[in-house]
């Protein structure tokens, strides 16, 4: 396992700033885009984000701030 | 990415004060208007706000204070 | 925008004490009346309040204390 | 407005100790009786309380302690 | 009203240790038995407890610890 | 009542470490097994645990950590 | 019982870092994979994770951060 993977979850998330993520909310909706920034509560800013319902793009957002308590998971994408 | 986009979420939100936002609540309802002010809990004052249900305006508010724990996301609009 | 509108949400709410408000709860029920007082948790005392279900008055309250965590939003009315 | 009405919500509630209240819980159930005591979390002791479902008395309680987080509102009755 | 009834809710609850209670949970289920002990979060130990669904006994517990956040109310019984 | 029963709930729970318990979660699912350890939030490790849906065993777990906030109650079994 | 099993739940979880786990969320969905790291809130990073709905694999994740408050339980697998 890489050194990066053994960091604490919030540190690893912080390190991924300005990279691509897909977040899923408790309500099952997903947002895919660049994570401009994030804090320890998992509040996060996404830029150029797509909203997906069951895998289909339903909306586009230039810049959106998601309140952390709604987050189910954050998938870290490898692409920039 | 602009310098502004790399700020922490709550700082970026604070910087957007007096600009247009669309907020979506957990209940799916949206409010679109000017964000007069906001605090770190995401409590926010909106002025000249429209309430939208599935994209249709259903009410208008001169000045309304939304309790932060209901917020799903806040979309930062580019227009003043 | 007026000076008053640029205050933090809880300060603006505090300034509105003894004026008319309409509050909507998470359960969609609304209360319209005078906000006698409010604290930072958004617990509030209302006097001469009407309870509205889908816009229709269903009950009247001389004095009622609403627990803040149930609040969705508080609309600040201009009339005294 | 009376001096009493301009107190903070929890102070006003405290002042009403040993008087009649009707409390409504989030589940819509209501309890009507004497509020023997209350704390800042809105935990409260009621004595000689009636439980009402849609306005009908369904049970009587000599002494019952309600956990504050279930409270929607507390109506302060004028009678002792 | 007796002196005992004017205590704060958690103090009154504490004083009732080792006496009979009926607790109702948010899920409507009730437990009736001796309250061996309780803390300020309303976590409580019950001994010789009956579980009731709509008034009917469905299970018996020698000793059970209920997590306080599930509690709706605690009825204090007069009998030992 | 035994001396042990009059301990505070979390202390009594702590004393039961390495003994049999049945825990019920808010979702009604039950887990029966040995409680290897527990903390004040009621996070607990169970070993050799059975998962029960409406009394029927549906799965077995060698070692499982249950997050405390999901717990409804913990029944303390007398057997080791 | 082994020495390891008598550790506090969060310590035992910490010790299992870089080993296989199956986590179940409140929404019943399960994730099976390597737990790269975890914190005291049960936020955790999983690598090479499968998402399972009713036992069937529906998605694969290279690296995903799950927000701890969604966790129902974490099953510690014996295999590396």
In three-state secondary structure terms, B28 is: coil
What is the rounded CA–CA span in Å between residue A46 and residue A18?
Answer: 9
Per-residue confidence band for C79, with pLDDT thresholds at 50, 70 and 90: low
Contact, E69 vs D59, CB < 8 A?
no
What is the rounded CA–CA span in Å between residue G68 and residue G25?
Answer: 9
Per-residue confidence band for D74, with pLDDT thresholds at 50, 70 and 90: very high
Choose among D38, D45, D69: nearest Cβ to E5: D45
**CB atoms D9 and C70 under 8 Å:** no
Does the structure show a pLDDT above 90 at G69?
A: yes
What is the rounded CA–CA span in Å between residue E42 and residue E72?
Answer: 10
Does the structure show a pLDDT above 80 at F19?
A: yes
What is the DSSP secondary-structure string of A19-78? EEEEEEETTS-EEEEEEEEE-TT--EEEEEEEEEETTEEEEEEEEEEE-GGGEEEEEEPS
Sign of CA dihedral G21, G25, G31, G37: negative
Whether chain A has a CB inside 8 Å of the CB on G14: the answer is no
pLDDT, tens digit, for every residue of F38-55? 999 999 999 999 999 999
Contact, D26 vs C51, CB < 8 A?
no
**CB atoms B10 and A43 under 8 Å:** yes
Our CA angle for G52, A72, B26, nearest 5°, is 125
Mean of all residue pLDDT scores within chain E: 91
Topology (CATH level 3) of domain D3-76: SH3 type barrels. (2.30.30)
Q: How far is E12 from chain F (nearest CA, A)?
A: 16
Burial class of residue G48 in the structure, from the number of CB atoms within 10 Å of its CB (0-12 exposed, 13-18 middle, 19+ buried): middle
In three-state secondary structure terms, G10 is: helix
Does the structure show a pLDDT above 80 at E75?
A: yes
Q: Which residue bears the tokens 């504490």?
A: E14
Q: Which residue bears the tokens 């004497």?
A: D34
Closest C-alpha among B65, B63, B60 to residue B38: B65
First to last CA, chain E: 21
Residue C68 half-sphere exposure toward CB, CA atoms < 13 A: 21
Of the residues F63, F71, F72, the best mutation for testing chain G's interface (the one with the most G CB atoms within 10 Å of its CB) is: F63
Choose among B38, B64, B67: nearest Cβ to C76: B64
pLDDT, tens digit, for every residue of B12-71? 999 999 999 999 999 999 999 999 999 999 999 999 999 999 999 999 999 999 999 999
Q: Count interface pairs A-B at CB distance under 8 A.
A: 59
pLDDT, tens digit, for every residue of C40-75? 999 999 999 999 999 999 999 999 999 999 999 999
pTM for the predicted model, two decimal places: 0.91
* Domain layout of chain F by residue ranges: 3-76
Contact, G77 vs G31, CB < 8 A?
no
**CB atoms C64 and D72 under 8 Å:** no
Q: Report the CATH architecture of E3-75.
A: Roll (2.30)
Mean of all residue pLDDT scores within chain D: 91
Sign of CA dihedral G53, G57, G60, G64: positive
Of the residues G14, G18, G48, G67, the best mutation for testing chain A's interface (the one with the most A CB atoms within 10 Å of its CB) is: G67
Of the residues A4, A28, A73, the best mutation for testing chain G's interface (the one with the most G CB atoms within 10 Å of its CB) is: A73
What is the rounded CA–CA span in Å between residue D27 and residue D40?
Answer: 21
CATH number of the domain at G4-76, out of 3.40.718.10, 2.30.30.100, 2.40.10.480, 3.30.420.40? 2.30.30.100
Predicted pLDDT of residue F26: 95
Does the structure show a pLDDT above 80 at E80?
A: no
Residues 19-58 of A with CB under 8 A from G: 26, 42
Q: Which residues of G touch F20 (CB under 8 A)?
A: none
Does the structure show a pLDDT above 50 at B3?
A: no
Mean pLDDT over D20-48 rounds to 96
**CB atoms D69 and C64 under 8 Å:** no
Choose among D34, D65, D69: nearest Cβ to E9: D65
pLDDT, tens digit, for every residue of A44-80? 999 999 999 999 999 999 999 999 999 999 999 986 5
Closest C-alpha among G61, D59, C42, G22 to residue E72: D59
Predicted pLDDT of residue E4: 42
Predicted pLDDT of residue B80: 57
Burial call D47-58: b when 16+ CB within 10 Å, e when fewer: bebbbbeeeeee
């Amino acid at each position: 396992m890489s050194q990066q993977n053994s960091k604490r979850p919030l540190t690893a998330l912080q390190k991924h700033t300005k990279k691509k993520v897909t977040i899923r909310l408790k309500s099952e909706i997903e947002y895919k885009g660049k994570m401009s920034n994030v804090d320890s509560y998992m509040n996060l800013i996404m830029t150029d984000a797509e909203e997906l319902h069951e895998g289909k793009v339903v909306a586009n957002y230039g810049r959106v701030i998601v309140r952390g308590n709604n987050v189910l998971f954050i998938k870290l994408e490898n692409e920039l």
